[in-house]
Amino acid sequence: SVSVTINDKKVKVPREYTILNAAIEAGVKIPTLCHLDLHDLKMVNRTASCRVCMVEVADSPRLAPACATPVKDGMIIRTDTYRAIKARRTSVELLLSNHPTDCLICQRNLKCELQSLAKELNVREIHYSGKRNKYHLDTSSQAVIKNQDKCILCRRCETACNEIQTCGILSALNRGFDTVVGPAFNLPMVETSCTYCGQCVAVCPTAALTEVNHTRKVWKALHDPDKYVVVQTAPAIRVALGELFGMEAGSLVTGKLAASLRRLGFDQVYDTDFGADVTIMEEAKELIDRLENGGRLPMLTSCCPAWVSFIEHQFPDMVDIPSSCKSPHIMFGTIAKTYLAEKMGIDPKKMVVVSIMPCVAKKAEAARTELSIDDHDNVDIVITTRELGDMLKEAGIDFDKLADEDYDHPLGESTGASVIFGTTGGVIEAAMRTAYEWITGEELEQVEFHQLRGMDGLREATVDLKGREIKIGIAHGLGNARQLLEDIRNGKSEYHAIEIMACPGGCIGGGGQPYHYGNDEVVKARQRSLYKEDQGKKIRKSHENPEVIKMYEEYLGEPFYGELAHKLLHTKYTP
């Protein structure tokens, strides 16, 4: 280790630390903007492009960027000199001189890192004026909007897209004042192989990359007397929404969530978890079918739309490995417009299904025509956790003061297995709970498969089904997924089943979740809460969900093999 002094405070830190790391250790705050360090998720952006973290180093004539300057033994650093403070403010002023100042009507208003920094550094005037860039707004995709005018060239999105997701969509084009970040030839997003994972959106400090906002569409449906509006909430919403109302990261707010949706005016309030239980009924049967009838192995879970798009674009020769199951929220939409509509005597054409998702790609998924049945969509509108937060605020709902309420029935019952869908490893654990009992014919006493849990990007484990070993691979983050798929393609790894989630952490780290502002503790707290909710559930295996069992008996027939089950709940992939 080395010894450094920051603002008169001496600290001993590891040799590989930067001044910024050492300052954190010393309890000294240095403002940053382009810097990003999600250590556990391996997402680190160290471009030192914004020059906001400038500090004084003794015996050095020039200021140094703290985020990119390594410590040296005996280094004496000051962060609080007039020169350093002024330099930091100047950096922000320069950024603002080429930035639209329409904060009041910006999608990131009060959630923008540039805006908070301007306040923190006491910027009251912009001393530099000059030419401003004016670019075309890219609204070509169903999921992501790119507004280059608001880009500050921090390159965080490039790190997320290229290093973590290995999608290579976003990179710097042109030079100097004309530099922009975008797809090759600055093509519209829709013409690229963007997966819409939304990780670029999750790390963008401004509104240069945002989700397509669908809140107005939801309001319109809610106020249309001819529409019957059904809402469903993804597993990962309940452990994140509270953050938008000042609650601790990972706060479990399932009951308040259901209550808040009723206050907004939804006619029926349901849980995607029900759809997740149905998915396990189908997926576990499909796995057993493949295992017993010499089918294609490994079977890959198919609930994450960003990775479905990734495999279609990048591994077209492998589109026979995903399960044919539609994702849980699409299954739910289909069930709502068939089984539920029939049961309630509602015309499915009057029904609007809204999904609240932690995900940006779900917006594009819901628009995929091959998932629609009988001329109407299964899911009509998808909004993110953040958009729901905005709607609740707009409606003046005091979220944290709401009393808990339950979901509606008959599609509101769910199990612990479905709750953990929201974290990496959860879908495959849920599938194993059911496959174990169906394959062995015995009761599974210990439902928690700890070997499948964790935050490592690539994991493998074996599940022992009474002498029959099931080899499992798990990846989250598309770069890890790429490695897993390549190893399978090259015959380096042999698995029976694999789970892939595009976003680091799984849906809890989705591109539509409340911003984590570079703190990976937030994602870990959400993961702990999902496991906690699972633990507290009376029923923890999908095939024991009584409402799911009843629906199969009354309507769908046998899981996977039943005619209606197959028609409504499965899909095909096109390379």
Burial of 319: CB neighbours in 10 Å, binned 0-12, 13-18, 19+: middle
Which residues, in sequence order, are bridge partners of residue 563?
none
Is residue 311 at the binding interface for ligand SF4, with CB under 6 A as the rule?
no
Tell me how far apart the alpha carbons of residues 88 and 56 are, in angstroms, rounded to a whole number: 11
Query: x/- contact string, 122-161, with ligand SF4 (CB under 6 A)?
Result: ----------------------x---------------xx
Which C-beta is closer to ligand HC0: that of 18 or that of 233? 233
Q: Which does 358 bind (CB under 5 to 8 A by kind): ligand SF4, ligand HC0, none?
A: ligand HC0
Nearest CA-CA partner of 273 in 234, 330, 317: 234
Active site residue 106: no
DSSP state of 421: G
Q: Minimal distance in Å, beta carbon 529 to ligand HC0?
A: 12
- How far, in Å, CA of 475 to CA of 491, rounded? 17
Q: Which of 56, 365, 413, 437 does the annotation list as catalytic?
A: 365
Write a three-state SS string for 444-462: CCCCCCHHHCCCCCEEEEE
Q: Does 333 bind ligand HC0 (CB under 6 A)?
A: no
Q: What is the DSSP string of 283-328?
A: HHHHHHHHHHTT--SSEE----HHHHHHHHHH-GGGTTSB-SBPPH
Nearer to ligand SF4, 169 or 461 (CB): 169
Residues 197-236 as x/- pattern, contact with ligand HC0 by CB under 6 A: -------------------------------------xxx
Please say if 116 is a catalytic residue: no
Residue 563 and residue 468: Cα distance in Å, rounded?
30
Determine whether 405 is an active site residue: no
Contact between 481 and ligand SF4 per CB under 6 A: no
Q: Give the footprint of ligand HC0 on residues 400-419 (CB under 6 A).
A: none
Q: How many CA atoms lie within 13 A of 561 on its CB side?
A: 6
Lookup: tokens for 368: 């995929």
358 touches ligand HC0 by CB under 6 A: yes
> Judged by CB under 6 A, how many residues of this single chain contact ligand SF4?
14
Identify which range of 132-140, 167-175, 369-377, 538-546 contacts ligand SF4 by CB under 6 A: 167-175
DSSP 223: T
Q: Which of 370, 442, 469, 494 is catalytic?
A: 370
Q: Rule CB under 6 A: is residue 428 a binding residue for ligand HC0?
A: no
359/380 Cα distance (integer angstroms):
15
Q: In 3-state terms, what secondary structure has residue 464?
A: strand
Of the candidate spans 4-12, 192-200, 267-275, 554-562, the one that interacts with ligand SF4 by CB under 6 A turns out to be 192-200
Give Cα 158 distance to the centre of its chain. 17
Amino acid at position 333, single letter: G
Residues binding ligand HC0 (CB under 6 A): 234-236, 272, 275-276, 303-304, 327-329, 357-359, 362, 421-422, 427, 506-507, 510
Residues binding ligand SF4 (CB under 6 A): 144, 160-161, 165, 167, 169-170, 194-200
**Residues with active-site annotation:** 283, 286, 303, 323, 362, 365, 370, 507
